[in-house]
Amino acid sequence: MPLWDWLNNRGCGIFLHISSLPSNQGIGCFGDSAKKFVDMLSTAGMKFWQICPLSPTGYGDSPYQPISSFAGNPYFIDLEQLKDDKLLFEEDLSGLRRLSDTHVDYGSLYKLFWEILKKSATRFFDNGKTKSEFNKYCHESGWWLENYCSFMALKDKFHQKPWNEWPSMFSTYKSAVKEIQNSTELLKSKKFYQFSQFIFEKQWRKLKKYANDRGISIIGDLPIFAGLDSSDVWADTHFFKIDKNFLPKFVAGVPPDAFSKTGQLWGNPVYNWEELSNDKYSWWINRIKRCFELYDVLRLDHFRGFCNAWEIPYSSTSAINGKWEDTAGIDFFKKLKHNFPKSKFIAEDLGDLDKRPQKLLSQTGIPGTTVLQFAFDSDSNNKYLPHNHEKNNVLYLGTHDNDTTRSWYESLDEATRHKVRSYLMVDGHDISWDMIKEAFKSTCNLLILSMQDILNLGSEARFNTPSKVDRNWQWRVTQDQLQTLYNSDTPRFLRQLCNIYGR
């Protein structure tokens, strides 16, 4: 008997991360463009909006290398709403107004954004009208907020150096508490980061309610690993394989695969699952509890990591010399079932899986992942071909790690392109929409389309290229592109496809 069984109805949604939305502040945010996107989802008959993790990002700007697994990314705060509250004024935003609307310039954003947010915080605390609301938030969220805000205050004090390079009295949260409490400077900085999370939470809950009220559920994402330079590892070092010098003994990644001949060296510290088990998985339970405060459905990235993980010696320069080590297993998911009996999970179970991860997925009953772009590189038994799809799966044309469908097709050799055209029975001149229409027919109960494919964009709109460290996570859809889409027949055509195929 599977632990969960929730994906019994057919549905469809669109993937578009918050950072990719239009805005005039250098990055997508929780503003009017987000609401207009929700309105379009509703018009198109969509039931889901999928996003990447909302976590604050560190070096490399990847949402899968979070500074905290519990906090939200302040970059997504809609500064227009702070203007409405008289916490900011137009002249404060002049620098952000000059940033690109086609991609996120994270370097410039970092230099400009935080000083602007600090101005709003100063005005907020000087005003004092909503101090009780702020204090209530800090009290209710203290179970994760204290670690994160203390960590960020110390990051500022030590000029953004990694925590394992800080003076010894600050090397763990427990040892740093007294030092922070005795420092006016650190307490002030900590209060600013509490303010940033207070505003983030307030705006996100408002936007999420707007979506939920229109029948749209939010699919969020949980990176399986925590970032090394994160409040998670700093505050709970014993739950990770960290040595006495606060360096990882092993780091995470995957062995050589289709993406990279040398594998992927992610660099995240791996978990000490024995220690987590002895603590009855409290850290993980709290982490997932926090996720369900933010999302309606939770995608578990790199699901096989809950069965076994590719552990690579910290000194390695590639992922080749790693080894598989057992991790959580079914007992962990039984614990989750006890704490989250009716919650909705999705498993990212892609890659070269052996029988053990597949057995674990079957035991949990969690829907797996199917990718249509993977369907044409072998014979008719390929599990990603539509005639082999299973109902308890979520179908994508491509994930955030894949190229856009148009660019993917253009990169294929002619023999494979012929195979695609023959299967779809099309001429290939409108391949993105040929694939979209084929995907709607699939028996997979849930279909998630990407905005790039709906707009039929090429490789310039690719969101992430695994194993590459630059030009990732930057793509943004422009206001003109979205407005053209909203004014076209596309949303109504998508609704028609939903009706025809029972989604």
| Angle subtended at Cα 147 by Cα 131 and Cα 198, rounded to the nearest 5 degrees | 30
Angstrom distance (rounded) from CA 501 to CA 503: 6
Cα separation, 135 vs 120, in Å, equals 17
Contacts 24+ apart (CB under 8 A), 440-443: 440/12, 440/497, 440/498, 440/500, 440/501, 440/503, 441/386, 441/501, 442/370, 442/386, 442/389, 442/395, 443/386, 443/389, 443/390, 443/391
Active-site positions read 301, 348, 401
Contact 124, 42 (CB under 8 A): no
* Token pair for 373: 């772009």
From residue 312, alpha-carbon distances to 111, 323, 327 in Å are 35, 7, 14
Tokens of 275: 């220690």
Closest by CA position to 80, among listed 64, 66, 67, 96: 96
What is the distance between the alpha carbons of residues 117 and 114, in angstroms, rounded to a whole number?
5
Per-residue CA distances from 48 to 134, 167, 218 (Å): 31, 46, 6
Burial 417-435 (b: 16+ CB within 10 A, else e): bebbbeebebeeeebbbbb
Residue 443 burial by CB count (10 A; 0-12/13-18/19+): exposed, middle or buried?
middle
Q: In whole angstroms, give the CA distance from residue 122 to residue 192.
A: 8
Alpha-carbon Rg for the chain in angstroms = 23
- Contact status, residue 444 vs residue 501, Cβ threshold 8 Å: no
CB atoms within 10 A of CB 315: 8
| Two tokens, residue 17 | 């991360």
Please state, in angstroms and rounded to a whole number, the distance separating the CA atoms of residues 76 and 54. Answer: 9
Indicate the residue type of 208.
K
Contact criterion met (CB below 8 Å) for 496 and 436: no
344-347 and 323-326 beta bridge pairing = unpaired
* Integer Cα distance of 270 and 253 in angstroms: 9
Closest C-alpha to 44, from 433, 490, 501, 502: 490
Per DSSP bridges, beta strands 250-254 and 308-313 are antiparallel
Residue type, 442: S
